[in-house]
Structures are given as C-alpha cells and as structure tokens.
C-alpha cells in the first residue's frame, strides 16, 4: 500500500509533485447526477492558492481544473472523476543548492530514509502543493453534502503564533487574507507577519473547521469512527502536527459534570463533544481543529547534514510561506467534507432503511 488514496465508498487518490508537469486526483464513488462545471472549482482553489497576499508564497499558479473523466454534459456519471491541474510556475533552481541536503524539520530526511531517492524540487509530494487536489475534490463533496443533506462546512484561522481571536464573527472570515474571524485584529496580524517575514523565521497556526447540519447517525463504531476518520484526514495534511475534536485536549482538565453535554427536549445545552459520541454524529455541530507546524524552509541557517553525512548549515531560498497555516482553512474544510460524504454514503448503504429515530434532539438550544 502506498497510501496516496483515502476514503471507502468515496475514495480519493491524489498524484503529482510540486515541480512536476501536473498534479491531479481521481474521485471514485461519487453518485451520478451531480451537476459540476470546471468553473466551480475556482472559488475554493483561489482561497487556498499562493500569491494572493504578501503573507504567502509568491508562486503564481492559475490552478485551473481540467475535468478528464466522470462528467458528461455537466453531470457526474458515477464513474471515476479525474481532475488535472497543470503546474506552470515552478522555479526548480531555488532548490539546486539544497538538493543534497536535508532541511531540519522537513520531510527531506524521512522520505530519503524510506525510499532512498527523492524529488528535491519543491519538496515533491511533501509540498503544500499536494493540498491543491484535496481542495478540488472537496468542492465536489461540499456541493453534494449541501444539495443532498443541507450540510455546510466552513473554517477559520483560530491562532497565529501566540495571537488568538479577541472576538468572533463568521462574516469577517472571508474578508481578510488570514481567514480571521475578528476584523479589528487584522492590522495586528499584518504587522506580525511583516515582521516575521523580515526576520526570515516562520510560525505555526491553528485552524478550526465546523460542519453544520450533519444528521445524527453518520459515523461508524469502532474502527470507522467519524472523529477517528476526521482526525486521520486532517492529520494527513502536510505540516499538520495536532488535531482536536470538540474540547479535545482541554478535556483532560475537565470534570464529567462539566464535559457532558446535557440533553433537554429542546436541544443539547453545550457541545464539548464536538458533535460526535461513540464515533457517531449527534446532530450537533461537528467541531474540529488542527495545528500546522512552522514552515521548515527558512533562509536562516540551520545545522544539518548532506547526503554524504557531512555537517553543513542549510539555507533555503525561494518563495516560501512564513506561515503555511494562513491558507490552510480551505484544505481543512475539504478534508472534513470528504470524510462526511464518505460516511454519509456508508450510512446510507447500511442504515438507509432505518429512517428518523425518535426522540430527535435539536443540535443546539437555538436549533
């Protein structure tokens, strides 16, 4: 197993390297009849893309999707959907001087140890470029979930270095390059990132991702837990080092009386569980978050070795993101949507005849 595929009834395979001729994906298992056009991918792909603000990599890719199969006269046919994006702005000479060195904190060394060979141009498969096709596949999942079940998936940045939101407003999120939910803090974030970029260093970040309208029942015990698969999906994103569901690690300090979400006929009174109990959706908001490490490609010298084992100081030049988390919100949304669509299909397959079970508790006190 080479593990470039995930999902069971909705299975997604991505392929391609950052500096290769193209990247792509195959989405197998999408139900027939979903209307989809190449233009529909643009919105989310542009939300994720580089070169949109001075705070991300300056590489400029058109990220235009070609639909190669699985769609006829604008509708999915039920056969594998193959999507392709051609790489057009590779600058592989940026990697010439470090082709034989291992960047500390990067996958260079572990890929080398596993395969004995690696594509050093732009990090190959370990590049953030790989996430492009996840977002493209996620467009299909988001659309199907919304049309078929009224489920929506959205996310926002919830920490940048030490900075956390001082307020929350969904309507602010799409109006700044950080996906930040509190507009008055955006100048502070801009100044922080400008100073960081000047210093040559990088920083980590946290992204929250939330699904509304998920019906109770999606998810599977024991090994197919909804939270387990969300965690695996988010953790599979390059640079992710931590995932939480609901209160996550804060649960360690909580008492049972605090953590349990009390149930009334009018609704759940809280959502510490993040909308999942026993691996199965409760009908509340699904709440997850992920932490991305600071980018390891730095122009500040760091100790490492070369492929011959000699100690060297590595310096990475080129067009790197000082905080790759800044543009990770659409990626988290895509992964959550893909897991939910797969689980929805699996729920329908096994339990489609069960129907609505009473009592059905509203997801929150305001419904």
- As annotated, the binding site includes 48, 54, 125-127, 238-239, 278, 293-297, 319
101 vs 364, beta carbon nearer ligand EPS = 101
First to last CA, the chain: 44
Any contact of residue 206 with ligand EPS (CB under 6 A)? no
Q: Confirm if 134 and 357 have CB atoms less than 8 A apart.
A: no
Task: Rule CB under 6 A: choose which of 128, 226, 273, 291 binds ligand EPS.
Answer: 128
Any contact of residue 14 with ligand EPS (CB under 6 A)? no
Any contact of residue 293 with ligand EPS (CB under 6 A)? no
48 vs 182, beta carbon nearer ligand EPS = 48
Task: Rule CB under 6 A: choose which of 55, 103, 118, 129 binds ligand EPS.
Answer: 129
Binding residues for FMN: 125-127, 238-239, 278, 293-297, 319
Any contact of residue 127 with ligand EPS (CB under 6 A)? yes
Any contact of residue 123 with ligand EPS (CB under 6 A)? yes
- Residues 110, 112, 114, 118, CA torsion sign: positive
60-87 core/surface letters (b: 16 or more CB in 10 A; e: else): ebebebebeebbeeeebeeebbbbbbeb
Any contact of residue 318 with ligand EPS (CB under 6 A)? yes
50 vs 285, beta carbon nearer ligand EPS = 50
Is 311 strand, coil or helix? strand
* Least distance (Å) between residue 218 CB and ligand EPS: 30
Any contact of residue 132 with ligand EPS (CB under 6 A)? yes
Any contact of residue 101 with ligand EPS (CB under 6 A)? no
Tokens of 271: 């959502």
Question: Which ranges in the chain belong to alpha helices (H)?
Answer: 42-48, 108-115, 131-149, 170-173, 186-199, 226-235, 256-259, 329-351
β 75-76/71-72 pair status: antiparallel
Any contact of residue 319 with ligand EPS (CB under 6 A)? yes
Q: Report the C-alpha gap between 260 and 188 in whole angstroms.
A: 37
Any contact of residue 304 with ligand EPS (CB under 6 A)? no
* Interacting span for ligand EPS (CB under 6 A) from 249-257, 286-294, 312-320, 345-353: 312-320
- HSE (side-chain half, CA atoms, 13 Å) at 113: 7
Any contact of residue 271 with ligand EPS (CB under 6 A)? no
Tokens of 27: 């989405």
Binding residues for NADP(+): 48, 54
For residues 94, 97, 100 and 105, what is the CA-based torsion angle, rounded to 10 degrees?
-60
Whole-angstrom CA distances from 22 to 25, 83, 139, 241 are 10, 10, 19, 27
Task: Rule CB under 6 A: choose which of 289, 297, 304, 343 binds ligand EPS.
Answer: 297
Subset of 29-68 contacting ligand EPS (CB under 6 A): 50, 57, 59, 61
Q: Report the C-alpha gap between 49 and 46 in whole angstroms.
A: 5
107 vs 145, beta carbon nearer ligand EPS = 107
36 vs 239, beta carbon nearer ligand EPS = 239
Indicate the angle between helix axes 329-351 and 131-149, nearest 10 degrees.
50
134 vs 142, beta carbon nearer ligand EPS = 134
Q: Report the C-alpha gap between 159 and 206 in whole angstroms.
A: 5
* Interacting span for ligand EPS (CB under 6 A) from 31-39, 78-86, 218-226, 315-323: 315-323
127 vs 208, beta carbon nearer ligand EPS = 127
Q: Confirm if 201 and 194 have CB atoms less than 8 A apart.
A: no
Task: Rule CB under 6 A: choose which of 6, 14, 17, 18 binds ligand EPS.
Answer: 18
Binding site for ligand EPS (CB under 6 A): 18, 50, 57, 59, 61, 90, 122-123, 127-129, 132, 297, 318-320
């Amino acid at each position: 197993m080479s593990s470039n595929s995930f999902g069971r009834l909705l299975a997604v395979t991505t392929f391609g390297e950052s500096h290769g001729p193209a990247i792509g994906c195959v989405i197998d298992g999408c139900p027939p009849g979903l209307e989809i056009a190449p233009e529909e991918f643009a919105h989310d792909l542009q939300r994720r893309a580089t070169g949109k603000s001075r705070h991300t990599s300056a590489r400029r890719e058109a990220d235009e999707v070609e639909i190669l199969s699985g769609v006829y006269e604008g509708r999915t046919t039920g056969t594998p959907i193959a999507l392709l994006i051609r790489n057009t702005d590779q600058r592989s000479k940026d990697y010439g001087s470090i082709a034989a060195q291992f960047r500390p904190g990067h996958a260079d060394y572990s890929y080398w140890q596993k395969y004995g060979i690696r594509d050093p141009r732009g990090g190959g498969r370990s590049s953030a470029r790989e996430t492009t096709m996840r977002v493209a596949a996620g467009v299909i999942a988001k659309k199907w979930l919304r049309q078929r079940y009224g489920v929506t998936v959205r996310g926002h940045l919830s920490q940048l270095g030490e900075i956390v939101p001082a307020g929350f407003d969904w309507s602010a999120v799409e109006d700044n390059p950080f996906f930040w939910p509190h507009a008055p803090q955006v100048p502070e974030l801009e100044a922080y990132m400008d100073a960081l970029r000047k210093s040559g260093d990088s920083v980590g970040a946290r992204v929250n991702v939330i699904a509304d309208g998920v019906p109770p029942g999606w998810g599977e015990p024991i090994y197919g837990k909804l939270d387990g698969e969300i965690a695996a999906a988010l953790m599979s994103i390059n640079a992710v080092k931590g995932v939480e569901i609901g209160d996550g690690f804060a649960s360690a300090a909580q008492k049972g009386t605090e953590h349990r979400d009390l149930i009334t006929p009018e609704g759940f009174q809280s959502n510490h569980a993040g909308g999942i109990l026993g691996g199965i959706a409760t009908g509340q908001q699904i709440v997850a978050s992920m932490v991305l490490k600071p980018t390891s490609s730095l122009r500040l010298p760091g100790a490492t070795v070369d492929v011959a084992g000699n100690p060297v100081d590595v310096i990475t030049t080129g067009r790197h993101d000082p905080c790759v988390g800044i543009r990770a919100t659409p990626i988290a949304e895509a992964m959550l949507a893909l897991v939910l669509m797969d689980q929805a299909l699996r729920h329908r397959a096994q339990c489609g005849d069960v129907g609505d079970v009473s009592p059905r508790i509203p997801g929150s006190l305001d419904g």
